[in-house]
Chain A
């Protein structure tokens, strides 16, 4: 499926493991940006928005590279964004059970291949910035995305591909090392 921002109910039909592409405006946010937004408010229209867990390298107003960062760091900082209408989170590594519940019936988590910063930047252009004083990695960069290749990691029905893989890995581990 091809997704275009702002996102609506179309994300609710997605299932963990589906592959999608994403185009349109997205906003980067890491730890510091989440804390600032909780304190001062969200500096963009959150309804239908996409938040990208990313600290890019920016030089002279140009996005040099911009791959995803570890989303789990934002586990405890994400609920207010979903409450405000954010429809998708993009990052790597998946998120905790509290986020899986927050997404239920409302939004999805999309996985972008970690480390693929040149690939991501090749499909992005920089449109603006909020909270620039937080520094290059932590600022909220406004990005126009063009067909980002993503995998649905957590769907709006409680389906979590990362958790399913983790459960299988645990079983394998215990079998191999005769524990439990």
Chain B
């Protein structure tokens, strides 16, 4: 029997949760990111940079008042699900998320950003072949986390297959990524760094690192963050103390002959939200 997956209770509930999570993420920045921006604005010494940060804070307030997206690049959604043991891993999970993205595109509204990679034809609903990416991990509750990712910062991201003897070069690789990027990824940025695993895992870890709270950094993250800020690129590449709000690192073990390192650059609009699926 053919069943429209969008009609199942599970996929319907997931669609609702995905749409809600996207609305939350697109219109309101998470409290930890907002706090980091406010701290930066208070500490910034450069005159132009201070004005840029003031514009950013005014923009965030206006997006909330007007209930509109923070940025016109509403991104492409990256979706993380946690799946409790009593829910089967099924196509309903994916169809529900896709339906939620379609609805959010029409209702929030979001800019339709998903195109065929070669013909560049727009699908007009922010879904497409392989899109959105959905990552599923086990958990105790069914939750949807969305990370709408803009292209300005995504395009500045880098992956390097370093030599195993180059572990000490990782901070340099990360700082070099921002040196090459300059103002293009809309600094102040948050840098997600994935170290280890395999080629593909390092990139996935770098993106997952962007889900971590930015109000704490360990010594290693702080060291890299300080190196990036010493560059003086500043908000929007116009100069200043604030180039990175935070650096977040995620690691996995790797092959003895390998050291993959990925840097996922995230603009100041580090949009993320988690919603528990009602069922």
Task: Give CA–CA (A38, B135) in the complex, Å.
Answer: 43
Nearest-Cβ distance from residue B3 to partner chain A, whole angstroms: 33
| Chain A: interface residue total (CB-CB under 8 A) | 46
**Chain A residue with Cβ nearest B171:** A177
Question: A176 to chain B: which residues have CB within 8 Å?
Answer: 175, 227, 230
B238 touches A161 (CB 8 A): yes
Chain B interface, DSSP helix/strand/loop, else mixed = loop
Does B8 sit at the interface, judged by CB under 8 A?
Answer: no
Whether A67 pairs with B172 at a CB distance below 8 angstroms is: no
CB within 8 Å: A-B pair count: 161
Known: A92-B183, A118-B69. A173 touches B234 (CB 8 A): no
> Quick one: CB contact mask for A117-136 with B, threshold 8 Å, 1 for yes?
11101100000000000011
Known: A69-B152, A114-B236, A119-B58. A136 touches B63 (CB 8 A): no
Q: Which single residue of chain A is at the shortest CB-CB distance from B150?
A: A115
Q: Would you call A55 and B268 a contact (CB within 8 A)?
A: no
Q: How far is the CB of B197 from chain A (nearest CB, A)?
A: 25
Given contacts A122-B66, A165-B234, contact A65 B184 (CB under 8 A): no
Contact call B238/A153, Cβ cutoff below 8 A: yes
A72, CB-defined interface residue at 8 Å: yes
Which A residue's beta carbon lies closest to that of B152?
A70
A173 to B178, CA, bound (A): 10
Q: A168 interface residue, CB < 8 Å from B?
A: yes
Determine if B238 and A165 form an interchain contact, defined as CB atoms under 8 angstroms apart.
Answer: yes
CB neighbours of B230 from chain A (8 A): 172, 176
The A contact surface, by secondary structure, is: mixed
Q: Are A165 and B233 in contact (CB under 8 A)?
A: yes
**Bound-state Cα–Cα, A70 to B71, Å:** 13
B112 at the interface (CB under 8 A from A): yes
| Closest-CB distance, A114 to chain B (whole angstroms) | 4
Closest to B227 in A: A176
A59 within 8 A of B: yes
A136-B111, A172-B231 are known contacts. Are A93 and B71 too (CB-CB below 8 A)? no
A166 within 8 A of B: yes
The answer to whether A116 and B112 touch across the interface, beta carbons within 8 angstroms, is no
Q: A28: shortest Cβ distance to chain B, in Å?
A: 10
Q: Tell whether B143 is near chain A: CB-to-CB under 8 Å.
A: no
Interface: A54 (CB within 8 A): yes
Q: Which of B47-55, B86-94, B212-220, B255-263 contacts A (4 or more CB under 8 A)?
A: B47-55
- Interface CB pairs A-B, < 8 A, 10: A57-B69, A64-B68, A67-B73, A70-B155, A70-B184, A93-B182, A117-B59, A165-B182, A176-B175, A177-B175
| 13 further contact pairs, Cβ within 8 A, besides A92-B236, A94-B237, A149-B55 | A19-B48, A57-B69, A66-B72, A92-B152, A114-B183, A115-B73, A116-B59, A119-B55, A151-B48, A151-B238, A162-B237, A165-B237, A166-B237
B-side interface residues toward A, CB under 8 Å? Answer: 48, 51-52, 55-56, 58-60, 62-63, 66, 68-74, 109-113, 122, 150, 152, 155, 172, 175-176, 179, 182-184, 186, 227, 230-239, 267-269
